[in-house]
Amino acid sequence: MRRGKRGPQQRRSHGPWVVDDGLWARIEPLLPVHERPAGTPGRKRLDDRKALCGILFVLYTGIPWQWLPQELGFGCGMTCWRRLRDWNDAGVWQELHEVLLAELRRAGKLDLERAVIDASHLKALKGGPKPVGAR
């Protein structure tokens, strides 16, 4: 699939997995806080912003988690995968979705005139046709 040309203001000097300051300002308050007691031995926790960039890199490129290049500075793939899992369990993505929708509503840029509902996310209240062989 070919992507359209970008205007002068839309050119990126980095990959789409690099989180800019504006987006990070929206995401950071939604992330769970992990305090590390002073004097705790072991490695320091990877910065959340770097972990998010690693997550986005893997999701954008489609590479396996374990192949995340260390040279990018996003930590190891399994750390990023665990962070994605933990943030998902904490409801971060749903909350971010709601925050962004609220911003669009306030700005008058959310048009729900036409919308699609995916049946995998909504329960059929009156039921639907039963699969053959169901009892």
φ, ψ for residue 81, nearest 5 deg: -60, -45
Reduce the DSSP state of residue 115 to 3 states and report it. Answer: coil
Q: Per-residue confidence at 124, pLDDT binned at 50, 70, 90? A: low
Q: What is the pLDDT of residues 93-111, one digit of tens each?
A: 999 999 999 999 999 998 8
Q: What whole-number distance in Å separates Cα of residue 135 and Cα of residue 119?
A: 22
Residue 122 has pLDDT above 90, yes or no: no
pLDDT recorded at residue 9: 47
> What is the pLDDT averaged over residues 20-41?
89
Q: Give the CA distances from residue 3 to residues 16, 23, 56, in Å, rounded to whole numbers and listed in that order.
A: 13, 22, 19
Evaluate if residue 50 carries a pLDDT over 90: yes
Pair of tokens at residue 124: 């059929």
Q: Provide the token pair at 26.
A: 């929206």
Element (H, E) at 103: helix 92-106
